[in-house]
Structure 1
């Protein structure tokens, strides 16, 4: 299957954005938007996987089985990765659960999917507001983390559904001459995303609702929250708009052959985004000492988990006071963006990791079709699903 260059470029930007969020100081560009872009792109992939049954062709049962297996694998990887380290909040579990819950709707019409998206966008912030205003009591500790934690489930369902709709309306080839051309659709997607993001930011600035869940809010403010990862209405609309704009622009610029050629390292990185994401999380937590196997080696006891709302180890421990550097695990150490620190250490670590991943991805992609983890997931799913009843058995290849 031919890869879509613009989507691979957007995936690379999502990975790089999450790397910056996890390694560098907090800033409004990387705080929240990259992980949402990652989720929306997962929804686009969901549309690509199910495109046959959405068009009324293909084996519905086998397609749903593929999506369910993929969701289970992603959620399982997320749980394992979260258990192995305490420095990064892992997004894979929310994406995997979104796959599982949205598998039944892949055959719905575009109009019905749009209605479902509207319901999720409106209803999700209601649950978040109820949690903030009334402090709901939960019977299971895992349930509030899933529903109203750093990756609120209804918001992540909405993001994945946005990606599914982007595939239907923008990415999938036109089925009739009356549909907009391949150039017009990315332009409209980028324009709509920028308009949605701009309108959201304007409302936030005019109303002052850019607040976090730990602030004291009235019911209306709790519903409208615009702070990243809160799941409030303004957070969902602004983050979805930003993701739409990035995807539209990436699809547009990759129509130029020179851009496709020049962006090969980034596209290679995006073509194996699962491998890149998990490798980044492991490397980053090994370096900063929050990987579980390093707790007793360096500090004698486990590092404390980050408080809710902190999305990176750089919030409390700079690399100059981390393992391999003096003074691991010192919670009183200055953060990277302390104006008295001079040149920030995080920038060197970010650059080294980014260059290393780009080189690895470029060399791997030159030789292999899929990334290492992508190949493994593909083999597990295809091995479980098996060949189609009328498909000839193919000899094993290198994948």
Structure 2
């Protein structure tokens, strides 16, 4: 622990950024061409998993941020927290839209974040069981929508470009139904993160129990997914209904990704109990504390490279190499920055404009 901060969360957040880089750089540079199958499968492990960790940790962070007012039931403080969160939601939404519209970053998650957080304001002071119940209700609604509407509407055949995003109907459809991180059912992740924040992560025994339980659930759901798809002969419909890939985000995907995320976060917290004074651990933690800044950096790297090589094909070796190079740069730069300043530049800007 450092100033009562659970640094295991920051450690997990740093590696979630690395996972998102691997996935996003693969989307842009691989162009759906597989050259090295083993490396492609390795990168695919992070698809929808790294982002899920990121969103769940957002829920955890908001839960910890509002914990004092949740316990005290101070109405004035609660209102203040809600207003602050709404301002941050607007900040992230606008920032994400700028990345999408001005810089062409179609896989942006920040404007989805803005929507998640704006709606989460309605849930932050509810009981934990109620929050979890709404999380599963979100999954049910998402599943019903996928069975009712055309999930491919707006997408090209490769699911890379989305037509009509900036029309009213297209934007609503993309945001709530079939975008990269649609509200239904992705909102469940941030709700589960909020519920997770109510647990005592300083109790290592409870964290271990949570981590082992999450691993068991994750493996069980993956086995169910494989069994159901195998039973129906891996037909297109079976994959659509029972796969645990993020597109389309099935109920099994959301539950599986949540369980894997909790397992990973739990492992990072356990590690933090033992390695909190380790210098290498501290460097990674610093990277996690500047996650928003680093998310923007990884997008800017993409934009620069797209401009330089005009979307030339690069294989999986390149994707992994550039991801780790950028990641190491992020860790080093954040360690230097935080030795002089309290927060990262984008984190500081967000707090400044959302006071």
**TM interval, short-chain normalised:** 0.7 to 0.9
Is 1:246 the equivalent of 2:225? no
What residue in structure 2 maps to residue 140 of structure 1?
A: 169
Q: How far has the Cα of 1:103 moved from its partner?
A: 0.3
TM-score (norm 2): 0.83
Distance 1:158 1:50 in 2: 19
Instruction: Judging by fraction of residues, say which structure has more helix.
Output: 2
What residue in structure 2 maps to residue 36 of structure 1?
A: 52
Kept in 1, the 8 Å contact 2:131–2:192? The answer is no
Q: 1:231 aligns to what SS in structure 2?
A: coil
Distance 1:50 1:31 in 2: 30
> After superposition, what is the alpha-carbon deviation per residue over 1:188-219, rounded to whole angstroms, capped at 9, x for unaligned?
221222122111210121122799xxx8427x
Aligned residues: 322
What is the RMSD computed on CA atoms of the aligned residues?
2.5
Match of 1:63 among 62, 81, 88: 81
What residue in structure 2 maps to residue 14 of structure 1?
A: 16
What residue in structure 2 maps to residue 4 of structure 1?
A: 6
Distance 2:187 2:289 in 1: 23
What residue in structure 2 maps to residue 123 of structure 1?
A: 141
Match of 1:155 among 185, 195, 198: 185
Kept in 2, the 8 Å contact 1:94–1:151? The answer is yes
> After superposition, what is the alpha-carbon deviation per residue over 1:24-66, rounded to whole angstroms, capped at 9, x for unaligned?
4653312111111100000011101211221134411101101
What residue in structure 1 maps to residue 162 of structure 2?
A: none
TM-score (norm 1): 0.75
Q: How far has the Cα of 1:258 moved from its partner?
A: 5.6
Distance 2:277 2:100 in 1: 36
Is 1:375 the equivalent of 2:348? yes
1:161-180 equivalent positions in 2, closer than 5 A: 161-171=191-201
Kept in 1, the 8 Å contact 2:8–2:272? The answer is yes
Distance 2:140 2:277 in 1: 38
Q: How far has the Cα of 1:282 moved from its partner?
A: 0.9
**Deviating 4+ runs (over 6 angstroms):** 133-136
User: What are the ranges of 5 or more consecutive residues in structure 2 without an aligned counterpart?
Assistant: 31-39, 155-166
> After superposition, what is the alpha-carbon deviation per residue over 1:343-373, rounded to whole angstroms, capped at 9, x for unaligned?
x333432232122111100101111111111
1:258-337 equivalent positions in 2, closer than 5 A: 260-289=278-307, 323=308, 328-330=310-312, 333=313, 335-337=314-316
Change (3 A) 1:188 1:336: same
Q: 2:322 aligns to what SS in structure 1?
A: helix
Change (3 A) 1:133 1:261: closer
1:333-344 equivalent positions in 2, closer than 5 A: 333=313, 335-337=314-316, 344=317
Q: 2:323 aligns to what SS in structure 1?
A: helix
Q: How far has the Cα of 1:267 moved from its partner?
A: 0.4
> After superposition, what is the alpha-carbon deviation per residue over 1:88-108, rounded to whole angstroms, capped at 9, x for unaligned?
501111121111011011111
- Greater relative contact order (Cα 8 A, min sep 6): structure 1 or 2? 2
User: What are the ranges of 5 or more consecutive residues in structure 1 without an aligned counterpart?
Assistant: 174-181, 290-322, 338-343, 383-399
Kept in 1, the 8 Å contact 2:208–2:266? The answer is yes
Change (3 A) 1:65 1:200: same
Q: 2:247 aligns to what SS in structure 1?
A: coil
What residue in structure 1 maps to residue 128 of structure 2?
A: 110
The structure whose Rg is larger is: 1
Distance 1:133 1:36 in 2: 20
Match of 2:99 among 78, 81, 91: 81
Q: 1:255 aligns to what SS in structure 2?
A: helix
Distance 1:76 1:151 in 2: 16
